[in-house]
Amino acid sequence: MTTITLDVPDQLAKQINANSQRMPHALSLALNLLGESSATHSLPAPTSPLVSEVIDFLASGPTPTDILRFKVSDEAQDRLETLLSINRESNLSPNERTELETYQQIHHLFVLLKARARTTLSSAI
């Protein structure tokens, strides 16, 4: 296994250290999500509130039950509804389109995570 060094905020470092055994899997999931982005679109900013929200959740080492219960914040949900409304009524700006694609990617990631969590919980019974 290769060792890498990253500069991360102190709070995130604490979460990573507390969940070090799960980090290879969490990083793999995050990188797979980023890999699905089209080369013609920019990647979401790592400081995006939605991306930060999801990274914080995954870095906390959620249990399968936590994953099944996860929902984005009300603010993130409101923003998604705004983007969808703009998309229905007119054209999204390039930044808005990228933001909406980020929501779609994160939704896809959580569909996969929740399916895996259900399988894990079913196996435990």
For residue 120, tell me if it sits in a domain: yes
CB 72 within 8 A of CB 53: yes
For residue 52, tell me if it sits in a domain: no
For residue 84, tell me if it sits in a domain: yes
The rounded distance, in Å, linking the Cα atoms of 51 and 59 is 12
* Predicted local distance difference test score (pLDDT) of residue 25: 75
For residue 122, tell me if it sits in a domain: yes
The rounded distance, in Å, linking the Cα atoms of 42 and 9 is 23
Q: For tokens 């399968």, what's the residue?
A: 64
* Predicted local distance difference test score (pLDDT) of residue 36: 53
Number of structural domains found in the chain: 1
- The pTM (predicted TM-score) of the whole model is 0.62
Better-predicted residue by pLDDT, 29 or 86:
86
- Write the burial class of residue 3 (CB in 10 Å: 0-12 exposed, 13-18 middle, 19+ buried): exposed
Instruction: Report the mean per-residue pLDDT for the chain.
Output: 84
| DSSP-derived secondary structure letter, 37 | S
- Write the burial class of residue 89 (CB in 10 Å: 0-12 exposed, 13-18 middle, 19+ buried): exposed
* Predicted local distance difference test score (pLDDT) of residue 38: 45
Domain of residue 68: give its range.
61-125
Average pLDDT over residues 48-60: 89
The rounded distance, in Å, linking the Cα atoms of 58 and 115 is 16
